[in-house]
Amino acid sequence: MRVLFLGTGTSHGVPMIGCDCDVCRSSDPRDTRFRPSLYLELDDDTRVLVDATPDLRSQALAHGIRRVDALIVTHAHADHIMGLDEIRRFNHMTRRAMPLYADARTLDGIRRTFEYAFDEGALAGGGVPQLELNAVDGPFQVGATRIVPVPVRHGRWQILGFRFGPFAYLTDCNEVPASSRGVLEGLDVLVLDALRHRPHPTHFTLAEAVATAREIGARQTYFTHIAHDLGHAATSVTLPAGMALAHDGLLLEMRT
């Protein structure tokens, strides 16, 4: 399995509009962060996109992505779904609707936000994204891969992370409940939210993320959903062994 980080930034992205801080003006390409998203090439060559950010067009062009077989959405906040209209291009290339997997609440949010895409009067194959909605209420199959949802807390919301064999992706969270910890045993790689140093009501601080990563005990942990408060180079040298900041364009390969 190959995992490509399309974006590792917070909802504002980095650099932020109108900001002149050191990270926003950094020449280190690892400090330039699109909104958070993954692209997975599964063992049977199925290609999966996790979240459709407002940067999806730029992400796809930057990494030469020409094919998406399925889309998984963690939750319906803007930085995770506002690229859904870009799915039209993949519809045109494959000549089929895009299978989309999310929990019931997220599907409701997508229907409301993209009401025009579900209008019965819209022309099939026309100017709207063609989405085949699938409700996730337990483990499900995409291609030959079994995917396990991992409920996490994102402030007052419960949203989903996902486990793909030895790899788990938990973006946008400030708590991994005890009821979800068993799903995360024996991981090779964990990806976990780590916004900044200062406390936030819906995201882990870096210190909280490090403590949670130690408890989960993956062989390697990467942090994502990173604000402009954390410069890549300066932050990386402070992290424990087996933990690192992810960055846009990071490619992981692992056996499943």
Helix/strand/coil for 196: strand
In a 13 Å sphere around the CA of 171, the CA atoms on its Cβ side amount to: 24
According to the CATH classification, is domain 2-247 in 3.60.15.10? yes
Give the closest residue to 229 by CA, choosing from 21, 6, 3, 5.
21
Helix/strand/coil for 24: coil
pTM for this prediction: 0.96
Q: How do the pLDDT tens digits run along the chain, 256 residues long?
A: 999 999 999 999 999 999 999 999 999 999 999 999 999 999 999 999 999 999 999 999 999 999 999 999 999 999 999 999 999 999 999 999 999 999 999 999 999 999 999 887 665 546 899 999 999 999 999 999 999 999 999 999 999 999 999 999 999 999 999 999 999 999 999 999 999 999 999 999 999 999 999 999 999 999 999 999 999 999 999 999 999 999 999 999 998 7
Domain boundaries, the chain: 2-247
